Amino acid sequence: MSARVVAVYSAKGGVGKTTLSVNLAWASAALSRRRTLLWDLDPQGGASYLLRQPEAGRQLRSRIVDKEDLRGFVLPSEIERLSVLSADPSLRHLDRDFHELGKRRRLAKVTADIAHDYDRVIIDCPPGLTDISEQILHAADLVVVPVIPSALSQRSLEAINEHLNRKKGAEVVIAPVFSMVDRRRQLHRQAVEKNPMWPIIPMSSAFERMSEERAPIGKLLPASSPPMKAVADLWRRIEKILVAA
């Protein structure tokens, strides 16, 4: 069976996308014991940094556009069963290349080629509604969208859904997740009450520690901690969707 592809994506930055990508990749490898690839497609390289991976070089952009083999850029992480395809600065221009190329499934084909050795591929996507976002819709089986309980962040989810509805042929499940939830705030509580079925990732200083320790949450906290329970619960939900697909 080919790998299932999960894209962690948002039209808006600053919503916890990268930390969520790293934690889901860790959960896939450590909790589900899946052979997992984390692909850092965000040119900022946050996921690569958190997992202590070096920059991939400056050839990824051209290799993706030319549909060349990327497996030589994949490196094992310090976590068993988890490998990483790091970002590099050339990815900043990938959106323009996709626009000029005009082939909406190029990323899907490249992803399928590199996924043969894995059970799960987690993609940390760059933010924004761009040509890359259209490529992602064709490449992923599931798109996880972190949403802060605020009007602007939830508006970005509406924009993603509108974008998806305009794109014929893109069939993908969109899974919103409340991110950075602080139940002490009335607006956060109200947003959660309106969408009681959405998974919740709580606000916690532990997620900020990830940047300092350069490690996923599962390496920093015990399984009984609320942040760890939230990540594990979210991953179980994702696994159910992927297995049923």
The pLDDT of residue 209 is 95
pLDDT beyond 60 at 11 = yes
Lowest model confidence (mean pLDDT) among 36-50, 108-122, 145-159, 188-202: 145-159
Question: Is there a contact between 47 and 238 (Cβ–Cβ < 8 Å)?
Answer: no
Domain extent for 159: 4-244
The pLDDT of residue 220 is 96
- Find how far residue 23's CA is from the centre of its chain: 9
Number of domains in the chain: 1
Query: pLDDT digit string (tens) for 99-117?
Result: 788 777 889 999 999 998 9
CB neighbourhood size of 134 (10 A): 21
| C-alpha to C-alpha distance for 18 and 3, rounded to whole angstroms | 21
pLDDT, mean of residues 26-46: 96
Q: Which of 4, 1, 2, 76 is nearest to 235 (CA)?
A: 4
**Residue 93 sits in a domain of what CATH number?**
3.40.50.300
pLDDT beyond 60 at 189 = yes
The pLDDT of residue 1 is 53
In degrees, rounded to 5, the angle at the alpha carbon of residue 150 between the alpha carbons of residues 162 and 226 is 110
pLDDT, mean of residues 222-235: 97
| C-alpha to C-alpha distance for 54 and 104, rounded to whole angstroms | 29
The pLDDT of residue 166 is 66
CB neighbourhood size of 59 (10 A): 14
pTM above 0.85, yes or no: yes
